Structure 1
Amino acid sequence: MTKDVEQPQERFEDMPILDELKNSYLNYAMSVIVARALPDARDGLKPSQRRILVAMNDLNLGPRSSHRKCAKIVGDTSGNYHPHGDQATYGTLVRLGQDWNMRYTLVDPQGNFGSIDADPPAAMRYTEARMAAPAMEMLQDLNYETVDFIPNYDETRMEPVVLPSRFPNLLVNGSTGIAVGMATNIPPHNLKEICDALLLVINDPKCGFKDIMKVLPGPDFPTGGIICGKKGIVDAYTTGRGHLKVRAKTEVETDKRGRQRIVVTEIPYTVVKTSIVSKIAECVHSGTIPEISDVRDESDRHGLRIVVELKKDADPEIVLNKLYRYTSLQTTFAIANIALVNNQPETLNIREMLQCFIDHRRNVIRRRSRFLLRRCRNRAHILEGLILAVTDIDEIIDIIKKSPDAPTAKLNLMNKPLRLAEVATLHKLLPAEFVKAKSQGDHFLTGPQADAILTMQLQRLTGLEIEKLAKEYAGLVEQIEGYEAILSNESVLLDIIREDLHEMKEKHGDRRRTQIAGAVETLDIEDLIADEDVIVTVSHIGYIKRMPTDTYRRQGRGGRGIIGSDTKEGDFIKHLFIASTHDYLLVFTNRGKCYWLRVYDVPAMSRQSKGRSIANLLNLGSQQIASIIAVSSFEDEEGSPERQLVMATQNGVVKKTRLSAYGNPRSNGVIAINLDPNDALIGVAQTTGGNHIILGTRDGMTIRFDEQEVRSMGRASRGVRGINLRGGDTVVGMVIVEEKSALFTVCENGYGKRTGIENYKAQSRGGLGLKNIKTSDRNGKVVALKAVQSEDDLMLITANGMIIRTGLDEIRSIGRNTQGVRLINLKEGDKLVAAEKIAAEDLEDEAEGEGSS
């Protein structure tokens, strides 16, 4: 019968499941934080990266060795140190050799290691690698007991906890990693600047962040680019966290055809190049950036080059702003300087990161010095015995010959009293203290010294070899004194660190790649819109749109015109004016309210389109638009006269208010003027305080008066009487008198006239006025008054949507009380409803545009 095997005793313990889950998760989280995701603050490596370098060091894959298959490196790493999947290990190895990810690569690759286009690397059986020079600096002195070693995963060998790292890897190459509940994202830096910062901290331990930033201005990415502003850098350096706005480096070129193109030569860090090209193409196809005609990638082995071809007359600055907003040519790099300090994750500022490396190097040099001091002392101890023995070599040989075996010979040697012989050569070569000590009294060999004598070769008995022993001993004495000085004198130790840093600068330093420029504001939509003049039209029932000013060609007086808008049945264009796309639109309604709108918010549409309902842009309700004023800003320039808004109502009331009072309207509008129940606002104009005002009525009456007669009032006031109306007449227009201008009057039947302003004598405000035009059956009632120059053009709009553009130089100036001339041939049942001038400077801009085309 087989003997029953004793079963182990099972133990059950009751505990809350929430506590067990919490403790287990915390243990898992700490394991991920310490053993996988976060770098050590001393050497800047994660365990996987460190183990790869150690495995390559075991294979002697230095910068001067031959490349070895990556499969071999990965296999040794996984088998000896890192018991995880080979694909994860290979991915880590590949990244250490990618110069667009690492500022200073630690692996020298051979073969396809991927590309900045996110192309995957070739399989590890095809690629080869060896360590780059900076990696060798990190492994230097590893065998001198400079760092602690722990057993590997199966306890078959030892692996270092951290590398000695003469190379400041964490600071120059940075790190990125996602742990449980935290993530690190440390940017790379320039080695020369980091070395200068380390030297500064060593030389001046009390230096501040401002002092450090003088030698270390900011991160230096391997892909170059431009860091916009220093605030994010200051935040990251002082607190360990910050956000950098990084832009691509671009330049504008002009091709042989005279067309401009934007060339991208450097891109932000961690951005995939192909994603930029595809995103630009997507923006072009979707109409987001219509100014681009073509985009192509011309990158080659000489460098990165993305070419963005622009259409004719496209503004490169506007296109660049759009590219920054809609593509990854501008990105935000979030800095989180989290690293392991004593196996605990900490958020470090730049001073703490520099100090961590200095402290690590101080500890490494101390441990190396102790190791070398111990080795030198042991060797010197052996040499002391050899030197004593060779001075009395005949008796030493006799003792060995007469001894029956090696142990006895060792004991006999140890019992033999020895004294340094009076040899002049030895006394000259050996240190004086040694000669003095060993020349007096008897000295006995120790066990190690006796063993060394027993193993000594006969050739060491020659005179030349004896001198070599003496010289070696003298050299060891000097080394021992040097190591003792390092361990006892802090300044000597710091001198070694300084010397190492200067050597790093000379061997591996290079120029800065990333430019640090001034801060840029957050891109507003205004930065994405070209600053150009456009025509804005608003229809009677509230459809608004904007069009280029060259949409309508200039025609002769009396022409038929072209269709200016595909209006709905019963609708017609009521307002038309010229404004810049960056202007503000103050929209005044017939009920005396003011709304705020940007010109670029007005939809850009073709000449034939009807536009978009203004109800989608402004909350007007049942109100109708009385006037729209375009202004570039609300604040007056220093030294310039204060700008005013003058308003007129159909009942002849006028009011003047400062423009700045309308600079902060609400979404539901603000009160512009208090109106009587039966009154309505018909016009608003901008003045500078010293102008004359002309009011024109439907029945052809006008009055001219100085605006000084209208005092400036508050925004919600009523106003004063401007003209005394008779027989149910109403005011249809208001004009601000300009120097050398003329008053152009338009009647509903297509007739009008131009009369010099000097024909309208100034009167007192509130009078009956003078006759301006005969409102006969031929002319019809007055619909518009405009102050014009002979160089201006005129836009005429009919109720059926017909528009004609004509030059005023074709219309001669005639007297005040006349009927005028035909301006447009109207179709039966159609009438003129509005008129708008195009100023001479706008015509000059158009002429330049036609000439360049």
Structure 2
Amino acid sequence: MSEEMVPGSQFKSLIEKDMQDCYLRYSMSVIVARALPDARDGFKPVHRRVMFSMHKLGVVPNKGTVKSARIVGDVIGKYHPHGDSAVYETLARMAQDFSLRYPLVFGQGNFGSIDGDSPAAMRYTEAKMNNLGALMLEDLEKDTVDMGPNYDESLEEPLVLPSALPNMIVNGTSGIAVGMATNMAPHNLREVGAAIHALAENPDLPDENLMDYIKGPDFPTGAVVCGRSGIREAYLTGHGRVRVRARTEIETDSKGKPRIIVTEIPYMVNKAELCKKIADLVREKRVDGITDIRDESSRDIRIVIELRRDAVGEVVLNNLFKYTQLQTTFSIYNLALINNLPKVLTMKELLQVYIDHRLDVITRSTQFDLKKAEARLHIIEGLRIATQNIDEVVQIIKQSKTTEIAKASLQERFNLDEIQSQAIVDMRLGQLTGLNLEKLEAEYNELVATVADLKDILEKRERRIAIMLEKLDAVVAKYGDERRTTIGEAIDDSDEEDLIAEEEQVITLSREGYIRRLPIDTFKAQNRGGKGIIGAGLKDEDNVEQIFTASTHSYLLVFTNKGRAYWTKVYRLPEGTRNGKGRPIVNFVGLTDGETVQAIVPVRKFGGFFCLVFVTKKGIINKMDLKLFSRPRKAGVNAISLDEGDELVKVQLVGMTEEEYKASLNAGDVEDAADQSAETAEPAEGEAEGDDAENLEARPIPNDLLMIATRNGQAVTFPITCFRPMGRGTHGVRGIKLSEGDEVISLLWLKAGNKVLTITEKGYGKRSEPGTYRVTKRGSKGVKNLNVTDKIGSAVFVDSVADDYDLIITTKEGQVIRIKAADIRLTGRNAQGVKAISLREGDVVQDATALPSVEDIEHDSAEAKETFDKVEGVEVDDDSVDASASEGENPTPEGV
């Protein structure tokens, strides 16, 4: 029976649709009418209504203050039918000099403090608009903005304010809507005025150039912004993060003891809570060396942190930055309403919206003045006619029995209209004196000039721009001040690393993209019974995609299927628990839509003779110097250029000797040579199609061999030195010549003692000695790694493993089996293998993972540490990009 025939199903569907519609209307109401500001004046409706109500009440700068309760009551009763606490909090915040960079309200009484004290009750405080607040409503009566009905349509209220002050940019705002939020930073009025000047005079000014005028956020509480990369990102994209630190200094008191003096704190930080947090840290012994903390603030902030005589002030201060709100991150998200639609705006767009709004206000103000001047001029023209024919006018009026007859006679005699004739009959005899006649003529000439000037303004945009800038200059000259917030240098990661002990960690990445780190000792304790690196007790042990060790001070290079690289530090990852699964890796690297993590490469230092080798699904291979990735952008960099339809499969970090490194620089084979070798390379004896000889003898292998394995059972093995390194963002060369329908599934760095393990989609597996794979030219078809048949299916997993590795095999229908690698029989290179997992009918193997033992991973960790310790590191700055490694360039490693 269909759903429509089920009783009540249609009614249920209607209810669901109605609920969806209601929620959508509610969401849009919150977004448009409550939480997000209009980009033109920077006000939410409640702010605009408070200011307009004060304007209508006459609570203006040149008048006295009135009770806040009176203002709040007027706002609620006429314009904003919501709670009085929300309206009063809005009014109070606009009076707080620690909340707004340029307060708009003058408050008398207790309006709260930076210690988190709430304002006194509205019946005790008084308020009025200050001069800056009055600028927001300047020329409101000149029809400069659109008006709309209030909630009960009994009154009208402005839909936006004229805003002679660029409030949106200089004061910032914050708000949380449904599914979106805004958080805009305050700025310095002088800098914003200069930027508006530059953009108004040159609309094509590049976004980058605006930062020559606006240096960065200018918070009411001062403090120090660390670095410019977050500012740049916010200004160019509309969202970014800036790190803000308290302004501090370390001094020595009269007794020779060091102490830390805090004179400015980050924006929106509660000073009392900050002091309490520091005291709690000392009590819990998480921060050592502090003997006393005192808040000596009066009008200015002054927090004194006394230290022990043997304490190092810089170390204590770094710990306080780490664990308290002496250092915060301000997330900028410039989301505002444009034509009642939310949009993320760059700094240039913010400025342009304000410029366009002010030009529209000036245009409407000019039109209002023109209309008024033309109306007066029209009357004056009629009065001039009357004074020039005064005797006849008087005679007509005297002879007329009524005013209406007099007006009609005047209109007929002198070709006047109703307005002009009315003005004549209303004229008093005293206005006929010679002096008043001269004034009338002077007013006429003045009005003619005024009308001509106003029409010229409306015709010429440059004149309107000049008027806008002239008014803005007057505001800046009167109310502009010096910058409070200092833009300092970026904080080096070493500052944070100094607070973190260097220890070995095991990092795991799940198939769902969850990443975590655990101390290596966690797994040592679980190694009873030979359960491998994961061991008993880990909830998602059979869901691990990648596992490796790295120091807490190591870097992680994260590579995606689209060929992009991202950068993070190990200590930034969450320290997980045995039964936890970690956090999504997208929390640490900014993956875009459609990007999945293909490889994570731990790097202790960027230096030495290390290269990254990339292989793609279509068989393209590329090699790049590791130093090219020492300074990637936080938003990621293009590591390798991919053809349409191609994807990155794997990235392998390989180390070379100096001789091997130099040999690879001089490698002469390029794409054409590789293609030629692919066509001429012939299979060696015993490698013909279908040969399943059990050749188990292993030749000794060098430590510089790479292997590319394909889904249809081919493998090509070649030295790492046979092709030269390329620049970041380049395409690469052919690694293997693929047959039609085949694709690459793995890249191996062959290690002595390990075996080449292959798992097929029908559940078969085999191990082969790497020495049985003939070394061929890069770009050739290679040799047979697996004799693919309908019985065993295609290869799905190929890796280089030791005998004590654990192998986890996962099927498409969710079946999971865990076996020892040594349980899979050692066979010939092109054999079919043995049954590794029994599959249900219709099921196939989806993936597999090889997990090393504790001994193997400890050995690899010690070996990597020893190797990297010999390397002279490259200075790393994650806030910038090495110019020599820019996109699309192809430098040799010698030039890096």
| TM-score computed with the length of structure 2 as normaliser | 0.55
Residue in structure 2 matching 1:496, options 467, 486, 491: 467
- CA–CA distance in structure 2, aligned partners of residues 596 and 14 of structure 1: 55
Superposed displacement of residue 201, structure 1: 0.6
Query: Following the alignment from structure 1 to structure 2, what is the Cα–Cα distance between the partners of residues 126 and 205?
Result: 49
SS at match of 1:294: strand
| Superposed displacement of residue 496, structure 1 | 0.9
Q: 1:381 is matched by which residue type in structure 2?
A: H
Verify the 8 A CA contact 1:248 1:267 in the aligned structure 2.
yes
After TM superposition, list the pairs within 5 Å mapping 1:161-200 onto structure 2: 161-200=159-198
Which of the pair has more CA radius of gyration?
1
Which of 308, 311, 320 aligns to 1:311? It is 308
Partner residue in 1 for 2:215:
217
Rounded to whole Å, the distance in 2 between the matches of 1:596 and 1:206 is 48
Distance in 2 (alpha carbons) for counterparts of 1:312 and 1:365: 64
Assess if the C-alpha contact under 8 Å between 1:339 and 1:347 holds in 2.
yes
Identity of aligned residues (%): 49
Question: How much has 1:52 moved relative to structure 2?
Answer: 0.4
Contact persistence 1:634–1:659 (CA under 8 A): no
Pairwise mapping of residues 389-788 of structure 1 onto structure 2 (< 5 A)? 389-417=386-414, 444-522=415-493, 526-528=497-499
Q: How many angstroms apart in 1 are the aligned matches of 2:607 and 2:279?
A: 43
**Is the CA contact 1:319–1:528 (under 8 Å) kept in the aligned structure 2?**
no
Letter in 2 for 1:106: L
CA change 1:293–1:232 in 2 (3 A) is same
- Tell me if structure 2 keeps the 8 A contact 1:141–1:164: yes
Given that 2:208 and 2:236 are in contact with CA atoms closer than 8 Å, whether structure 1 keeps it comes out as: no
1:35 corresponds in structure 2 to 33
Q: Which residue of 1 aligns with 2:47?
A: 49
Evaluate the alpha carbon distance shift between residue 598 and residue 30 of structure 1 in structure 2; reply closer, same or farther with a 3 A threshold: closer
The amino acid across from 1:474 in the alignment is N
Letter in 1 for 2:116: A
Q: CA 1:156 to 1:636, structure 2 compared with 1: closer, same or farther past 3 Å?
A: closer
Matched position secondary structure for 1:16: helix
Q: CA deviation at 1:634?
A: 9.0
Given that residues 318 and 495 in structure 2 are in contact (C-alpha distance below 8 angstroms), is that contact kept between their aligned partners in structure 1?
no
Q: CA deviation at 1:54?
A: 0.4
Distance, in Å, in 2 between the alignment partners of 1:472 and 1:118 is 59
**In structure 2, C-alpha distance between the alignment counterparts of 1:525 and 1:381, rounded to whole Å:** 76
The CA deviation at 1:209 is: 1.8
Query: Secondary structure of 1:258's partner?
Result: coil
What is the deviation of 1:521?
A: 3.0
Distance 1:525 1:357 in 2: 40
| In 1: Cα distance, 2:256 partner to 2:752 partner | 55
1:375 aligns with 2:372: yes
Does the aligned pair in 2 maintain the 1:69–1:128 contact within 8 Å?
A: yes
How far is 1:476 from its partner?
1.1
Secondary structure of the corresponding residue to residue 135 of structure 1: helix
Structure 2 SS opposite 1:227: strand
Give, in angstroms, the shift of residue 598 of structure 1. 9.7
Give the stretch that moved more between structures: 79-88 or 25-34: 79-88
Cα separation, 2, equivalents of 1:305 and 1:659:
58
- Are the aligned partners of 2:501 and 2:552 in contact in 1 as well (CA < 8 Å)? no
SS at match of 1:102: coil
Is the counterpart of residue 253 in structure 1 residue 251 in structure 2? yes
Q: Identify the residue that residue 143 of structure 1 maps to in structure 2.
A: 141
Superposed displacement of residue 458, structure 1:
2.5
The one of 55, 58, 61 equivalent to 1:60 is 58
Q: Deviations over 1:327-350 (max 9, x none)?
A: 000000011100000000000011
* C-alpha separation in 2, matches of 1:374 and 1:49: 31
Change (3 A) 1:523 1:186: farther
After superposition, the Cα gap between the structure-2 partners of 1:199 and 1:636, relative to the gap in structure 1 and judged at 3 Å, is closer
Residues 1:338 and 2:309 aligned together: no
SS at match of 1:84: coil
**Structure 1 455/239 Cα, relative in aligned 2: closer, same or farther at 3 Å?**
same
* Cα pair 1:321 1:523 within 8 Å, conserved: no
Q: 1:218 to 1:462 in 2, by over 3 A?
A: same
Matches for 1:93-112 after TM superposition, within 5 Å: 93-112=91-110
Equivalent in 150, 153, 156 of residue 152 of structure 1: 150
Partner SS, residue 481 of structure 2: coil
SS at the partner of 1:282? helix
Tell me the distance in 1 between the aligned counterparts of 2:225 and 2:605: 33
Alpha-carbon spacing, 1:62–1:389, altered in 2? closer, same or farther (3 Å): same
**Contact 1:240–1:336 at 8 Å: present in 2 too?**
yes
Rounded Cα–Cα distance in structure 1 between residues aligned with 2:54 and 2:149? 18
Instruction: State the SS of the aligned residue for 1:87.
Output: helix
Cα 1:108/1:635, change in 2 over 3 Å: closer
Tell me the number of residue pairs that the alignment of Structure 1 and Structure 2 aligns.
Answer: 514
1:342-361 mapped onto 2 (5 Å cutoff): 342-361=339-358
Q: Deviations over 1:176-197 (max 9, x none)?
A: 0000000000000000100111
Deviation sequence 1:154-196 (CA, Å, 0-9, x none): 1111111101111100010011000000000000000010011
Deviation at 1:14, TM superposition (A): 8.2
Q: CA deviation at 1:636?
A: 11
Q: Could you say what secondary structure the match of 1:528 adopts?
A: coil
Asked if 1:241 corresponds to 2:236, the answer is no
Instruction: Give me the whole-angstrom Cα distance separating, in 1, the residues matched to 2:231 and 2:58.
Output: 40
Q: Post-superposition shift, 1:377?
A: 0.5
- Which SS does the other structure have where 1:257 is aligned? coil
Cα distance, 1:463 vs structure 2: 1.1
Q: 1:122 to 1:520 in 2, by over 3 A?
A: same
Deviations 1:340-372 (A, max 9, x none): 000000000111111100110111111111111
More moved, 342-351 vs 460-469: 460-469
1:406 CA drift (Å):
1.3
TM-score, structure 1 as length reference: 0.58
Paired residue for 1:117? Answer: 115
Query: How far off is 1:235 after superposition?
Result: 0.9
Letter aligned with residue 473 of structure 1: Y
Shift of 1:398: 2.1
Q: Distance in 2 between matches of 1:597 and 1:341?
A: 48
1:7-22 aligned at under 5 Å gives the runs: 15-22=13-20
Distance 1:258 1:529 in 2: 29
1:504 CA displacement: 1.7
Q: Distance in 1 between matches of 2:318 and 2:428?
A: 81
* Cα RMSD after superposing both structures: 2.9
**Structure 1 Cα separation of the partners of residues 142 and 162 of structure 2:** 10
Structure 2 gaps of 5+ residues are 1-9, 503-520, 522-548, 554-603, 609-655, 659-750, 754-896
Q: Which residue of 1 aligns with 2:585?
A: none
CA distance in 1, matches of 2:495, 2:219: 27
**Equivalent of 1:299 in 279, 297, 300:** 297
Contact kept in structure 2, 1:315 and 1:530, CA below 8 Å: no
The alpha carbon displacement at 1:527 in A equals: 2.5
Letter in 1 for 2:318: N
Q: Output the amino acid matched with 1:91.
A: E
Q: Map 1:250-289 onto structure 2 (within 5 A).
A: 250-289=248-287
Aligned position for 1:624: none
1:17 CA drift (Å): 2.8
| Equivalent residue number for residue 613 of structure 1 | none
Quote how far apart the aligned CAs of 1:222 are: 0.5
Q: CA deviation at 1:394?
A: 2.3
The 1:313/1:202 distance shift into structure 2, 3 A limit, reads same
Q: Is residue 82 from structure 1 mapped to residue 80 from structure 2 by the alignment?
A: yes
* Matches of 2:358 and 2:466, distance apart in 1: 12
Name the structure 1 match of 2:712. none
> Given that residues 318 and 529 in structure 1 are in contact (C-alpha distance below 8 angstroms), is that contact kept between their aligned partners in structure 2?
no
**Which amino acid letter does the alignment assign opposite residue 126 of structure 1?**
Y
